[in-house]
Amino acid sequence: MFTLAHLSDPHLPMPQARMGQLLNKRATGYVNWWRHRVHLHVPEALAGIVADIEAQQPDHIALTGDLVNIALPQEYRRAADWLTAFGPPDRITIIPGNHDVYVSTPWAESLGLWGAYMASDGQQPAAGFDVFPTIRRRDGIALIGLSTGVPKPPLLATGDLGAGQIARAEKLLAETGAEGLCRIVLIHHPPLTDQSRWKHLTDASAFQAMIRRVGCEAVLHGHNHRSEIAHIAGPNGAVPVLGVSSASAARKSKYGRARWHLLHIERDGEGWRLQVRIRALNADNSGCEPDGDLVFHSGGRRAMVA
């Protein structure tokens, strides 16, 4: 059995910005953080999530984006330090979210600081967005990392994959499917067609068409800051699409308390069994408590235990 921790949207605390850094989209995001989001995303909640993940000792950790808030240079450096304290690059796989590319920034001074956490197995640290999709193989599991982060105008939080990335992902999924691996797709924006026009994945339909052709065993995403379940069609049945709450959500935030998901993945005859144990922040922020189990089998959802 392989265990995979899934967390997302930690939105690490915002540092103070210099006036010259706010002469773009960052200005509205900066004001919004200090007026509202600073009360929604709190470091003590994230500390409790991290402590619980460490206590559960998963085999690997997947973090599906939005480590930062408005793409300040000092945010990327703080996030790099946080990642180093959390764990080494061979144990943690990350993909970028829309806040990680809030505005256009030089790669080496921004996401490049986390490049080792985004690189495919055996590759040098990621040197640009053309590295996606990435792949990491772990004990019969293929983690396929996609990037939907693209700088957008103010008030938009949409994401794009692009035809080229979708085509490369299709090739990877076909190859790893032929190898008999359990294919877990990591993506920030939910690849669904019923999302808000201000926050949706613009090419969700194209992504779904690709999954109908080659399939995968599960899709893990963040972005919506809530633990949620959906399904999209695959060649052999429904594919679960699992969103996770923000890992820094305050207990009384509009998103509810912070959560993370612990996936137990094992062979099931010719397919795979995925048990998802939802872990929610406890009352004193010191760790987490069980908050429900989901069970999936290759080809569709089989059971749900509250």
First to last CA, the chain: 23
Ranges of H-type helices in 144-273: 163-178, 204-214
Do the Cβ atoms of 289 and 257 come closer than 8 Å?
no
Domains of the chain, earliest start first: 2-305 (3.60.21.10)
Tens digits of per-residue pLDDT, 1-15?
999 999 999 999 999
**pLDDT confidence of residue 306:** 31
Tens digits of per-residue pLDDT, 27-47?
999 999 999 999 999 999 999
Q: How many CA atoms lie within 13 A of 142 on its CB side?
A: 21
Residues 71 and 31: their CA atoms lie apart, in Å, by: 14
Do the Cβ atoms of 125 and 111 come closer than 8 Å?
no
Number of H helices, E strands in the chain: 7, 13
Backbone angles phi, psi at 16, to 5 degrees: -70, 140
Looking at the predicted structure, is the pLDDT value of residue 127 above 60? yes
**Residues counted in the chain:** 306
Confidence of residue 113 (pLDDT cuts 50, 70, 90): very high
Closest residue by Cα to residue 13 from 72, 87, 54: 72
Residues 3 and 300: their CA atoms lie apart, in Å, by: 20
Q: How many CA atoms lie within 13 A of 45 on its CB side?
A: 30
**pLDDT confidence of residue 270:** 86
- 259-268 sheet: strands from edge to edge: 92-94, 60-63, 2-7, 259-268, 271-281, 288-297, 300-305
Looking at the predicted structure, is the pLDDT value of residue 304 above 80? no
Tens digits of per-residue pLDDT, 132-152?
999 999 999 999 999 999 999
Residues 303 and 301: their CA atoms lie apart, in Å, by: 6
Which position has the token pair 């809530």? 226
Tens digits of per-residue pLDDT, 162-207?
999 999 999 999 999 999 999 999 999 999 999 999 999 999 999 9
